[in-house]
Structure 1
Amino acid sequence: MTHIVVIGAGQAGSSLVAKLRKDGFDGDITLIGAEPVVPYQRPPLSKAYLLGDMALERLFLRPESFYDDQKVTLKLGQPVTAIDRHGKTVHLGNEVIPYDLLVLTTGSDPRRLPASIGGDLDGVFVVRTLADVDAMAPMVGEGKRALIVGGGYIGLEAAAVATKLGVQVTLVEMADRILQRVAAPETSDFFRDLHTGHGVKILEGVGLEKLTGENGKVTGAVLADGTTLEVDFVVVGVGIAPSTQLAEMAGVILDNGIKTDAFGRTSDENIWAAGDCASFPYKGGRIRLESVPNAIDQAECVAGNLMGADVEYVPQPWFWSDQYDVKLQIAGLNTGYDRIITRKGDGNSVSFWYFKGDQLLAVDAMNDARNYMIGKRLIDAGKSPSPDVIADPATDMKALLKA
């Protein structure tokens, strides 16, 4: 009987084992997770969960009973120490688990500040795991002072929640503007205005020189321009990196993550990968997507291929972010854009449409679910209305789907 072992009990791992059983796989399944809790949602951790609006049990992707019912062996709180590709075994300390097929859904790890600039002080947090947020929660309260390092979506979401809880927030971004790596200046401007309107102090084009502390706990920060700040805690949101250490130690080929073919198979025919950790072919190049939708879709595609479906994974990228009363929804990938078209909606709703020449690449929609859905359907269908048509306030957007 075939034994499939899955390393990484996050969104991708949970989705993969559920899909295997749904599609009739009747072999043995083992799901291994380094954290001591059943697979859970990460996006609400730093939002609804930290705010106290979501109980722990509601974070769980599936109740623990699901895995028992589906005859999935869970090994939680047990980090894998090694993969023996030649012996086809996984090592958890002294325990050795044989596999026929192995799937790596190891996700990603937050980038941390080096200890040389105070990154190891107490009160310096990243936002990735349940344990991270549980450790930070007691610090987040009325009148506290926080420094957020990094003006990407992770940093901005942390700033929004901390501000809601009465924290005085200063956010520093080394680049010229927040969201510079991922969004157009128009989107940066929207979110800068949103945050400053809620009292967040945003410093752009300023790096962090070092954190300072007393008795091992962070108490301040020195910025690259000489500015000094007094702080009670620090949240580091400077990006994530694919978790590839196990694959690398096992000799699996890497390329901005664990390199897979279009079906999800790695350089070892018995090892597959999906989710944040996996890079795959896309439009003549290679990409890696860090999102919940990709983790689910790619994992389910790999599950099918483990059972012989032989289907290439074709992503339909979309993302979201919640900040204050604004829901940002993103469809497509904006890489290579050379023109932005703005469509104003009612109230504070607006959408920014990314074009490369006359090709529609992506849409950022703020509190504009209707135009987001239209943009997503156009992009998924490979349709590109004229930029001038998008720019015309009189355009019936829904009619573009029929063109």
Structure 2
Amino acid sequence: MSTTYYDPLSQKWYHAQEKMFGKNKIKTEKLFHYSKKWVPFSLNEDSHRIGPIIGILTSKGKNKKLAGNGPLFLSLVQHFFKIGALSIVFTQEDLGNSLMTGYTFHPALGKWIQVSSPLPDVVYNRIPFRNLEEDTDFAALTSLLQKHNIPFFNPCFINKLEMHHLLKQSPTLKPLLPETTLLTSKKMLHDWMEDKQDIYIKPVSSSKGKGIFRIFAQENHYLMEGVHLTKQLATFNELWHELKIYLAKGPYIIQEAIEPALYNGSRYDFRILSHKTENHFIISGIGIRQSSNHQQVTTHVPHGGKILPYELLAKEDDDIFFNAIIQEVGHLFNEHLGLFGEFSLDIGKDVNGKFYLYEVNSKPMSFDEEHIENKRIKAICHLCMQLSGFPIFPH
């Protein structure tokens, strides 16, 4: 590694030798003198270039400040700094035809600083809002990245219905999927309730268990259970009237409920984090989430779910099964959707021991388990270095 200096005033980069920098190979300025106001960075170098530059794409919130997973950004930027890469958190508006502006955290200064740089060698998509991936600015950004052949991984959110249709294409995954379809009519709901007696309805575009309801057909009424409410409805018409309030907000899927295996009286799911390396996928961590006593609709921690150690329920055969599933999901994603370097699975087990694949998360949030999150940071950095073409050093 060698030291490269950034001058915040002129927004230029200086090096002892002229080096190519960024995907568009802009030359650094020749270093003839040094100013104490310049900011030093230790970057990887070879005979012609320094870097890489890693772009972490996010968006701005209502207050015009950077939105998204701040702790993840900080951890990534700090680890990239250690391995000689310049990582910059930026938004769609910050990427120009030849330059990028954004923020990096400098450990020696102990704060975030704004920098301008050449185009990134790799971009990791962490835009937190689905609607932003549907506008023209996002389309222009992806077009620019394609023009410069810049690897762009985890390119999009995937809604629950699209996900189900994609996963069904795999003969390996299809048997693991609960029966699922788009809820389109009162008659459909009635027919499903008659047939299944116990169903879920879920917003097509949601995460973290938001907006999910479980509905039971009981002897004299229907029971509608959500994260924060439980309602008893005397007739099917009352049930439909109640649901229409939610259906007016956006499309929902209808899904059969699986009678889950229980641990200490409550359901649980496996949360499996995976990352791409070379041409296969690794398991970066497995956690268990258990529903709380007051609601059994979802196991998500923000809604009272508990964190259990994987070792509590781990079996050797399960590890083999989970590894096979992440290979299948990973290759399916990369074949049909673009470059996916990271995803997580929600997998449950029924009372008979059969596994079900409930969800694939295309933009996983942080894991509460510190050892999993640490492995995640290293895996993302390793992948970015690999995609950039720079050598990877052990850390």
Q: What TM-score comes out, normalization by structure 1 length?
A: 0.28
Q: What TM-score comes out, normalization by structure 2 length?
A: 0.29
